[in-house]
Amino acid sequence: MNESILKIGRVVEVSGSKVIGALEGTVEDLYRTYKSRRYTVGQVGSIVKIEAGDKLVFGVVTALRMTETLLDGGSGTAPAREPASDAKWLEIELFGEALRTGLGESEFDFQRGVVTYPLPGQGIFVASVKELSRIYHRPDKPSIHIGTLSQASSLPVYLMTDDLLGKHFAVLGTTGSGKSCSVTVLLRSILDVAPKAHVILLDPHNEYRRAFPGDAEIIDPTTLNLPHWLLNFEESVELFIGKTEHVATSQTNILKDAMLSARRAFGLPGVASEKITVDTPVPYTLGKLVEHIDANMPTQASKQDSYLKIKNKIDTLQQDSRFSFLIRPDDDVTDNLKDIVAQYLRIPVLDKPLSIIDLSGVPSDVVDVVVSVLCRMIFDFAVWSPRPVQVPVVLVCEEAHRYAPRRDDASFQPTKQALSRIAKEGRKYGVGLGLISQRPSELAESILSQCNTLIALRMSNEQDQNFVQRALPDSVRSLVNVLPTLRTQEALVVGEGSVVPVRLRFNDLPEENRPQSADVPFAACWAEEAADAAYVENAIRRWRLQERPPLIESESDATTE
């Protein structure tokens, strides 16, 4: 048996990185067997090689089509037409080439990019496992093992850590595609090789707590510490005035003057008063804020409305226990910025390199403010840290379309601006960004375009597919067509983090490390009575106390998202 059995066609046309090939007439099966292994023939996503002298050019199959040649078979003005032959065509996107160093299958030096293009007539071969193992071998750079090659499950797939994290990444996939499990595999692989990492995960649904036992610092509303004085002016306007009053210039001016006065009244050793601005992270008490508002309130009742609205909003927030992590009483206001930064950024790591920010219990009317403060704090700390960078940080944002939406009127703008700044400038300061979303078409395109590694899982929505297609490099855009057919936990990885575009299946997770993102088994739950009055009483008690229920520990919880 020789290698010629892997020949499936020949080159017909070459246009840039795109090659059109004609399948041989003998190709009537989906598979070829070579050295006791079965290889897929002409499948979208399959890797093929083209021999060009001492060079091997590799490409990925992006499309197949068939045309019929018809012959006239009758007489008269409307002759009958009969099929004479079927021509099968392959569309191939080239991604790399290799120079032979010996006669063996895997004796070549592979490099990304193509310099030598094939000529029409040259043969097209299915790439063997040995050749694939050479292409997808572990890189010389720091890397993580996240899964196996879809077309050869025995071959591991690695991503390059520095390029993945430093140049940002996105994990996109519809609900049920295995997105949460894939993110967990990705993060666990990173932590396995980087136990002193600094990773912050925004978790809006309390999914990931159980996925990282012992490795994560869990920060929920009971331990969340983001005092009001940490907010900048724009975020404070959102908190103390609200979205419906943005046009009230009089209120914003009142708040601005009061905040500046309160910050300067608190003061800090070594910081001159005139250096303190309304956005400087210097503590201030709400008592001083209200005191300044009262001192400047006009005596005429008709002109007091704007002042009273701010005072009433502050009083309402102080009375609401849900905001206790944000609204601090005057006797609890101290300069603890160092402790806050150290907790979230894990400095020192203390064997917990991951901070999981559980946002599920944060009141919905301030969750955008909380995310904005966290993103801005991470970036500002990095900007003002000494050079060279000693503490690179990665921010992973689940449900990213909520905080960085495509439409400008869909969310709190400071949050979008903070994420946009990290996406555009974070690389210079050692801040990496990971965007996780099930609705990529609702993501801000300018932010997603900064993610140089795209991990796309199954995606059936045509609008989402078109959006991802625009975000992909031109050479692999046609691969988007395979997204609806991907299996659970299978993904297409394209970009700087991967040596070449790859279709892979993520590693399986132990049941105890799977995120709590299970589908609810309706049929099983409704098969018999499973709840009583005590169940209702327990839920209502937790509801009133704002007390989170314990983690689900059941067999059904093993179902992956």
231-286 pLDDT per residue, tens: 999 999 988 987 654 446 788 999 999 999 999 999 888 889 999 999 999 999 99
Model pLDDT, residue 147: 95
Rounded Cα–Cα distance for residues 261 and 296 (Å): 12
Model pLDDT, residue 301: 85
CATH number at residue 205: 3.40.50.300
Model pLDDT, residue 460: 84
Rounded Cα–Cα distance for residues 62 and 472 (Å): 14
Where the chain has pLDDT below 50, the residues are 1, 71, 74, 81-84, 245-247, 553-561
Model pLDDT, residue 83: 45
Residues 491 and 353 in one domain: yes
* One-letter amino acid for residue 500 of the chain: V
pLDDT in tens, 136-176: 888 889 999 999 988 788 899 999 999 999 999 999 999 88
Residue 330 located in a structural domain: no
Residue 63 located in a structural domain: yes
pTM here?
A: 0.85
Residue 355 located in a structural domain: yes
Residues 304 and 450 in one domain: no
Model pLDDT, residue 103: 76
b/e code 386-412 from CB counts within 10 Å (16+ = b): eeeeeebbbbbbbbbbbbbbbeeeebb
Tell me if 83 sits within 8 A of 70, measured CB to CB.
yes
Of the candidates 272, 301, 323, which is a domain's last residue?
323
Residues 315 and 351 in one domain: no
Of the candidates 89, 106, 135, which is a domain's last residue?
135
Residues 198 and 232 in one domain: no
Residues 261 and 204 in one domain: no
Residues 232 and 221 in one domain: no
**Residue range of the domain that includes 175:** 156-225+336-555
Residue 85 located in a structural domain: yes
Q: Is 115 exposed, middle or buried (CB count within 10 Å of its CB: 0-12, 13-18, 19+)? A: exposed
Residues 423 and 509 in one domain: yes
Residues 462 and 485 in one domain: yes
Residue 143 located in a structural domain: no
Model pLDDT, residue 41: 72
Model pLDDT, residue 479: 73
Residues 458 and 487 in one domain: yes
316, containing H or E segment: helix 305-319
Tell me if 214 sits within 8 A of 350, measured CB to CB.
no
Residues 69 and 181 in one domain: no
Residue 331 located in a structural domain: no
Of the candidates 323, 347, 374, which is a domain's last residue?
323
Instruction: Output DSSP code: residue 443.
Output: B
Residues 88 and 114 in one domain: yes
Phi-psi region at 113: left, alpha or beta (left = phi > 0; alpha = psi -120 to 50): left
Residue 150 located in a structural domain: no
Domain total in the chain = 3
Residue 25 located in a structural domain: yes
pLDDT in tens, 370-409: 999 999 999 999 999 998 999 999 999 999 999 888 887 6
Residues 304 and 176 in one domain: no
Classify 457 as helix, strand or coil. Answer: coil
